[in-house]
Structure 1
Amino acid sequence: MSHVKRLVLSIVQFLRQQLQTADLSADAKESVEVAVQCLETAYGVSVEDLSNESLVVSRPLLEIFGDALPREHVQTSHENVPEPTEAQKAEAEKYKQEGNNMMKIEMYTAALECYTKAISLDGLNAVYYCNRAAAHSKLDNHLDAIEDCKRALEIDPKYSKAYGRIGLAYASLNQHQKAKECYQKAVELDPENQSYVNNLRVAEEKLRDMASLGNGDMRRPSGGGGGGGGGLDFGSLLNNPTLMNMAATLMQDPNMQNIMSGLMSGGLSQNTGGGLDALLQAGQQLASQMQAANPELVEQLRRQMNNPNDRNSSNQDGTERNN
C-alpha cells in the first residue's frame, strides 16, 4: 500500500475514533460517516485494513500532527526558577482565582492566560501548572496539557490531580496504556477518589477493546472502542437497490459533482485543511438530499449506525474543579 493510502487509512481511523469520542452533533456525525465512506471508496481502503499491522501506523494521527506543530519551548526543570517574593505569591494567587472563575464560565482561553500570568510570578507552584493543564485540555491542546502536568509533578511528585489530568490528556490522544499508568499512580496516591478509579477502569476497557480489534474482531466493536463503525452492516447497504439508485442519482447532481471533483483534484493535500472541509460539505449535502428524497431509508441508516452496546462512561472530560 502506498504512503498516500496509508495516510488516508490513518485519517479514516481518526475519523472513526472521533465518532466514538468527540462531542459531535447528530448532523456532524452523519457528515463524518459519509466522509469516511467517501474516503474508503475513493482510495480503495476499508475497515478490514485497520486490523493489518503492516498497514496501520504505530502512532495515532493526532499525536503525529501534534509533534509536527511548532510549540513553545517548555522548560523541563524548575531548579533555576527564582523563589518568588510574598507579594508575587499573593498576586499569582489572584490570577489563579481569576483563572478558576474563567473556567467556571467556560472561557478557557482567558483562563489559560490567567494561569500563565500566575506561573510567570510564581513558577514553583505545582497547582498553577496543573490548572493550566486543565485549560489546555479544554482547548484540545493535549500535548501542552501533558507538558504542564509533567512540570507540576517535577515540583510535587505526589500531586495526584496532576497524574489524573495527564491521564485524561493521554486518553484524549488515544494513548490508553500511558493513560492507564497515570490513573494507576493517581489511585495509588488518592485511593478514595472515585473519578480516578472510574477513569482507570475505562482505560483498561479501552485497552481490552484495542486488543480485541488487533486480533481481527472487526465485525462488532464494543461501545468503548475507538475504531468501530457502530455496528453498521456495509454489505447490506451496498446490496440495497434503493440506496444504490439514490446514490447514483445524487452523483448526477452538478453541485455534488463539483464538490467531488474538487476533492479528487488534490483538495486533501492542501495544508489549509480545505479538503476536509469540502469532505464535510459533501457529506452534509449528501445527507440533506437523502433525507429529502427518502426519509425512511435515512432513518434506517441512522438506526444501523447507532451502537447498542454503549457502556456507562466515567468522568473523562476533566471537569473536576481546579484548586
Structure 2
Amino acid sequence: MSDNKRLAFSIISFLHDQLSSGNLSSGAQESLEVAVQCLETAFEVSADDRSLAVPLTLPEIFADATRETSSQVNNNATVNTVGDDERAEAERLKNDGNDQMKVENYAAAVEFYSKAIAVNPQNAVYYCNRAAALSKLGNYAGAVQDCEQAIGIDPNYSKAYGRMGLALASLNKHAEAVTFYKKALELDPDNDSYKSNLKIAEDKMDAASPTAGMGGMDLAGLLSNPSFMNMASSLMTNPQVQQMMSGMMSGAYGGGAGGTGGGGGVPGGLPGAASGRDLSGLIQAGQQFAQQMQQENPELIEQLRSQIRNRLPSAGNDEQP
C-alpha cells in the first residue's frame, strides 16, 4: 500500500503544480481541486506529508519512461530498416575487402569494410574483418574497438575473441590476450591457431612476471640449478677473480679519486688504467667460466639457448578473414 500512496502523492503534487501554474480556467481549477480531495480521501494521504515524496516528479518519471521506449523503437527501426538490397550490397563490399586483404592492400580493405558497416552496422563479421585489416596496418587499438563491437553483436563469435587476443598481444597486454584466447577456444576447441597463440601469450606473460630473469630467461630456475650454482661458486672462489673484484672495489671507493692513485683518474674516482686491466681480466674469467659450463654441463647451455630462442617473436600465427 505504501507504493500506492507514493504514487497518489506524486499525482496530487502534479495536480497542485498545475493549479499553481495559473494556466487553467476557473472550471478546470475546480475540477482539479475536487480530484485532489478525492485522491487524498481514497488513499488517506496528505499533500503536506513529505515522507511520501520520491526523488523524481511525475513528469520526470514519465519523460524517462518515454525516452527509453523511444530509444528501443529507434534501435529496432535501425535493425529492421536494413533490407535485402542493403544486405546484399554490404556483402559485396565485404567481399571486395576480402579481395584487398588477399593482395595485402590493407588500407583499401579497411575502406571497403567501413562501407559495409555503414550499410549494415549489425553484422559482426564486418567489424571483425576490419579489425584484421587494422592489425595489419599496426592500428591495434582500433582493432580492439572493432572486436568489442563484433562481440557486442555476437557474443559467441569465436573469431572476434581470437582477433581481440592478437591485437591485445601486439599491445603487450598478454594477460588480457590470454583471457580472450581461452574464450575463443571455448567456442572453437579444435582451432590450432588459438592454441598456439594462447601458448605464446602465456609464455610472454610468464616472462614479464617478477620471477622471470632478464630477456625473458627463467632466472629463478637457473639459480636453483645445482650444476650452475656449483660452477658459479667455483668461479667466485677463484683467487684471480677475488683479486680483480677487490681491486675494482678499492679503486671505485678508495683513494684513487682525482687521479692521485696513478694511471689517470676518471670521474667517480675509478682509475682508468686499473679499471681497464680489471675489466679485461673479468671478461677473461667470464669466458673461462662459459667454457667450463660448456664442458661440464652442455645440456644446461642448450637449455639457456633454447629459452632465448623461445622468447623471440613468432610470426605466421595470424589469421586471415
TM bin (shorter chain)? 0.3 to 0.5
Higher RCO (CA-CA < 8 Å; seq separation 6+): 1
Question: Over alpha carbons, which structure has the higher Rg?
Answer: 2
